[in-house]
Structure 1
Amino acid sequence: MKNVQTKNTQYQRIVYMICLIGALGGLLFGLDQGFIANSLSTIDHVYTLNISQGENYSAVLAWGGILGALLSGLFARTLGRKKVLVLAGFLFSVLSFVSALLPPLAILVACRFGLGFAVGVASFTVPLYLSETAPTSIRGGMATLFQLMITIGIFLIAATNVFIAKILGHTEISLRLMFAVILIFAFVMFLGSLFLPESPRWLMLKGKHDKALDVLNKVRSSKEEIQKEVAEIKESIAVNQGSGAAMLTKGFFWKILLVGVVLQMFQQLVGINMMIYYAPTIFGYAGMTGLIALLAIPTVNMLFTFPAVKWIEKWGRKKLLYFGAVIMMVSMFSAGFAFLSIHESGPSSITNAVLLLSAIVYIFGFACSWGPVAWVICAEIFPLKGREIGMTVTTMVNWTFAGLVMANALSFMKAYGNYSIFFVFGGFCILSMVFLKFFVPETKGVSLEKIEKNLEDGVPLRQLGDTESTPQAPVQTVPQSA
């Protein structure tokens, strides 16, 4: 009886540790992503940056994220999931600490690039580690928790930066404290990751079966559960070992990879990172500097990630993306017309109200649709053997276009008028709906195996989720519909 109680206590402790690393990995992702929004004015004051320099500092996180996403798969395979998490936590801690010392601008930019690298690594490795290590009963919750904690991190850093600046002003002390907030959570993640068990799947992949069983004995509650998982891991390794590169010779894989690439491209080209990073700056152009203007975007982004978890299974992926695209299109055009009116007649209470409401509605539309759903579809449409390649490439594309938006949004507004960029992003919302109609399948309620079989059988891309789809006839002379 005592042994059973000891095992249950150990099991609960490890599970709590897994929950902690999942939460902190997502939180740090959000903290670093949301840092710029309400700290850019302080950075500008301390380092006397112009618009272009501010954009470059903001965007360098994305360039680091691209490199992190590219190398994370290699790191996870060679070093192991745990060591990569330790590395990410170490980088978060050291680079946040150096940033808090307010070094010369070149070093500060290099630190942000390194933080982007750590974010890219964590965004790949944390969900992978959780899916391989967390008990089945909480695995789905962990995936949801990771996404939710990103939005909480964005909100938390936005709120703390606002209050630090309000209390202390745009001073060096303020900026040090802003970086210190990230440092605290980064150090906790680093220490916590040192005590995590290694992924049992990775241990078995490396032939360390005894160590894998030791881990499973700690993180699973019964022998039956352990035996079932060992069998599943062995089968998965046998099916997928050394097969990823072979997918690059398959025409159908390149087609579905293009769908994932364009999907992630549109996730950024609808304008989300302009709103996440620069909303306070944009509102400032209209003379809006109150707490509502400063915190509305991160607050709504966090709150409306919750319903997406339910709606994605109730409505389906494609319908939710359509819904979000329409909402974002209308709100972008509304914001554009509000800024056009401000450009011609100056700000007024009506135009400011329209601008603020448009931004809030836009974030609602994104948070409950394109924010989480684009990632879900990318995780579902790739064949098992090419899933790691597909996710790596599409993640890099997402970071690339995020960087392009961050590096050019404010300069574009300065060159062509504050209203111009809203019409551009509204146009991309329209194009995204055209893409959805002709190329993106509905994957709700369809097994991954069925999607993969339809893809291999030559079923048109937008019909991959049809459970009764039939292969494309080889004698057809009309170009295949997507």
Structure 2
Amino acid sequence: MGILALVEDRPTPKAVYNWRIYLLAAIASCGSNMIGYTSAFIGTTITLKSFEQEFDLTNAHTTQAQRDLISENIVSLFIAGAFFGALLTYGVSHVCGRKWSLVIASAIFTLGGGLQLGANHARGLGIMYAGRVLSGLGTGIASNVIPVYLSELAPPAIRGRLVGMYELGWQIGGLLGFWINYGVEQHMNPSHEQWIIPFAIQIVPSGMLFLGALWMKESPRWLFLKGYRDKAMQNLCWVRQLDATDIYIQEEVAAIDQALEYQRVTIGIGFWKPFQAVATRSNVMWRLFIGCMLFFWQNGSGINAINYYSPTIFTSIGVSNANVGLTTGIFGVVKAFMTIVWLLFLVDQLGRRNLLLGGAITGSICMWIIGAYICVTKPQAHPSSHLNSGGIAAIFFFYLWTAVYTPTWNGTPWVINSEFFDPNFRSLAQAATTASNWLFNFLVSRFTEQMFATMHYGVYFFFASLSFLAFFFAFFFVPETSGIPLEKVDRLFECKPVWKANAILKAQLKDEEEEFRFDVKQGSVHQENDEQEQQEQQA
């Protein structure tokens, strides 16, 4: 099955898969582009000689521990801001909607980026820290809203693909971040401009998101929730390129109305109602636990440690300082390429669950091999200008790990969490799960340098063990969500066993769909007969 293959939950007009839905996804993904770039460039930029000289990090009175602490502060303050931004997003998106939440997120991020450009030797790092926190706040909001917005717009057959564009934007941003760093390091002399250029470029995608979000359509599902029915119908028909009388639109609106009516009866409409309902519904609490744990296992793989501290990672394997930039750039290329493969050929074809299972086992094996190589050869204790055969093999397995983990645990948890929750809890749940991602991300970024300083090769064994345990978590607790309408996800968790839940629910929905279409057809026949009888009586 390839890029054109679709697994549909019901007969779908071709007009539904139109350019508008992809353009909206591309604009929204500018937000993930700014996140990916910011996450990638920072680790290498703050190791540039020009940056260290600007802030007096190269003088004899500054110890390596102090340098590590400053690096960790610059990285982790951004992530701390993202954590609180994710928590605040529920209130922002509930009141302002998905569209204006993205406008707010991009504006805050751009303000933070501007403050970072104001840092220099005279002003010190204080303004840099403040800017990183603000950029983090914007990131937290964007990382929360974008998957929700895309999942609410997407037809079920391409929902994984559209939400996957969020991850693609992240990886493209990361790729640019790695190579721009390599470019300024190789082709510019140490200067203020050398390190300020990577900081300045992060404003470009945030500006693109700000301008694009002003044009975007608000989520029809949010409009239905708020009672703006006419506007919701207008937006839904615009996105689907169908008339309001089309049976596909009627079925989709009926499902949305049914979900909202269920929410009014069981939970209620209001800001605090979901909080009250979650506290009393163990099944939703269980889904929240699974969603948060997916990000725990994701960060436990080591992917974000590598993103933020790639020079430290490659140096530990034995790559010389002169080649770290190039090796990091290739890492970004592999991630971006495999994200495209995942987006086009894997996420909707193989399914979310199979990707998690395969990625966990393969990734664990690669990490064990890399750790074993470092344990035996101790490359940092025997530095060399070039890698030996063992070092080349270790780099091969590192890139193999990247190629496997990128299309599995790197992006798939975002897709799953955008689908796990019905409209009653989606905004609140997305805020909680996204915040958990940034919390685990913060822990990794804050302590990675210390872990490598004390554990050495043991860090790789640590990541390998967590990846191995992630396989069993995914197998026993994570159901397949591909092809399931958002309004029916609640029923997915009622189907047992977990590894057969998707097939069981799809069979049920197929029977219900046939019954619905039969009723609609019969109703049309009765209406035609009634109209014919009236005409005969009038005649």
* TM-score after normalising by structure 2: 0.76
- 1:3 alignment counterpart: none
Identity score, percent: 27
- 1:292 alignment counterpart: 326
- 1:335 alignment counterpart: 370
Return closer, same or farther for 1:328/1:131 CA change in 2, 3 Å cut-off: closer
Residue 405 of structure 2 is aligned to residue 388 of structure 1: no
CA distance in 1, matches of 2:338, 2:395: 17
SS of corresponding position for 1:265: helix
CA distance in 2, matches of 1:60, 1:34: 15
Q: Pick one of 109, 115, 121 that aligns with 2:129.
A: 109
Q: Which runs of 5+ in 2 are unaligned?
A: 1-17, 58-65, 507-539
Residue 262 of structure 2 is aligned to residue 239 of structure 1: yes
Q: Pick one of 93, 117, 129 that aligns with 1:100.
A: 117
Q: Pick one of 504, 510, 513 that aligns with 1:467.
A: 504
Q: Pick one of 383, 401, 420 that aligns with 2:440.
A: 401
Return closer, same or farther for 1:460/1:331 CA change in 2, 3 Å cut-off: same
- 1:278 alignment counterpart: 309
Answer whether contact 1:41 1:170 (CA < 8 A) is retained.
no
Residue 37 of structure 2 is aligned to residue 31 of structure 1: yes
Return closer, same or farther for 1:106/1:159 CA change in 2, 3 Å cut-off: same
Read off the aligned partner of 2:133 and give its amino acid letter. F
SS of corresponding position for 1:188: helix
Greater mean deviation of Cα atoms: 292-301 or 221-230: 221-230
Q: Pick one of 58, 66, 73 that aligns with 2:83.
A: 66
Residue 396 of structure 2 is aligned to residue 376 of structure 1: no
Greater mean deviation of Cα atoms: 81-90 or 251-260: 251-260
- 1:267 alignment counterpart: 298
Return closer, same or farther for 1:320/1:408 CA change in 2, 3 Å cut-off: same
CA distance in 2, matches of 1:224, 1:202: 18
Answer whether contact 1:446 1:467 (CA < 8 A) is retained.
no
- 1:187 alignment counterpart: 207
Per the TM alignment, residue 258 of structure 1 is displaced from its structure 2 partner at its CA by 2.2
Residue 95 of structure 2 is aligned to residue 78 of structure 1: yes
Per the TM alignment, residue 384 of structure 1 is displaced from its structure 2 partner at its CA by 5.0
- 1:5 alignment counterpart: none
Read off the aligned partner of 1:323 and give its amino acid letter. G
CA distance in 1, matches of 2:450, 2:153: 45
Q: Pick one of 144, 149, 173 that aligns with 1:129.
A: 149
CA distance in 2, matches of 1:196, 1:220: 14
SS of corresponding position for 1:41: coil
Per the TM alignment, residue 210 of structure 1 is displaced from its structure 2 partner at its CA by 4.4
CA distance in 1, matches of 2:279, 2:217: 34
Larger radius of gyration: 2
CA distance in 2, matches of 1:442, 1:201: 23
Answer whether contact 1:335 1:355 (CA < 8 A) is retained.
yes
Q: Pick one of 75, 91, 106 that aligns with 1:89.
A: 106
Residue 96 of structure 2 is aligned to residue 57 of structure 1: no
Read off the aligned partner of 2:326 and give its amino acid letter. I
SS of corresponding position for 2:315: helix
SS of corresponding position for 2:479: coil
CA distance in 2, matches of 1:259, 1:191: 35
Q: Pick one of 386, 389, 410 that aligns with 1:350.
A: 389
Answer whether contact 1:18 1:134 (CA < 8 A) is retained.
no
Answer whether contact 2:491 2:505 (CA < 8 A) is retained.
no
The CA deviation string for residues 7-50 of structure 1, in whole angstroms up to 9 with x for no partner, is: xxxxx997686355223122112112222233121344433260
The CA deviation string for residues 178-219 of structure 1, in whole angstroms up to 9 with x for no partner, is: 122112232232233233343344344333344445545655
Figure out how many residues of one structure are paired with residues of the other and give that number: 456
Read off the aligned partner of 1:274 and give its amino acid letter. A
Per the TM alignment, residue 77 of structure 1 is displaced from its structure 2 partner at its CA by 1.1
CA distance in 2, matches of 1:256, 1:82: 26
Greater mean deviation of Cα atoms: 169-178 or 283-292: 283-292
Answer whether contact 2:364 2:464 (CA < 8 A) is retained.
yes
CA distance in 1, matches of 2:331, 2:243: 48
Return closer, same or farther for 1:81/1:451 CA change in 2, 3 Å cut-off: closer
- 1:46 alignment counterpart: 54
After superposition, the CA RMSD in angstroms is 3.1
Greater mean deviation of Cα atoms: 328-337 or 44-53: 44-53
CA distance in 2, matches of 1:441, 1:268: 21
CA distance in 2, matches of 1:150, 1:159: 15
Per the TM alignment, residue 323 of structure 1 is displaced from its structure 2 partner at its CA by 1.6
Return closer, same or farther for 1:253/1:211 CA change in 2, 3 Å cut-off: closer
Answer whether contact 1:67 1:117 (CA < 8 A) is retained.
yes
Answer whether contact 2:73 2:446 (CA < 8 A) is retained.
yes
SS of corresponding position for 2:42: coil
Answer whether contact 1:155 1:302 (CA < 8 A) is retained.
yes
SS of corresponding position for 1:36: helix
Q: Which runs of 5+ in 1 are unaligned?
A: 1-11, 470-482
CA distance in 2, matches of 1:84, 1:312: 27
SS of corresponding position for 1:104: coil
- 2:400 alignment counterpart: 361
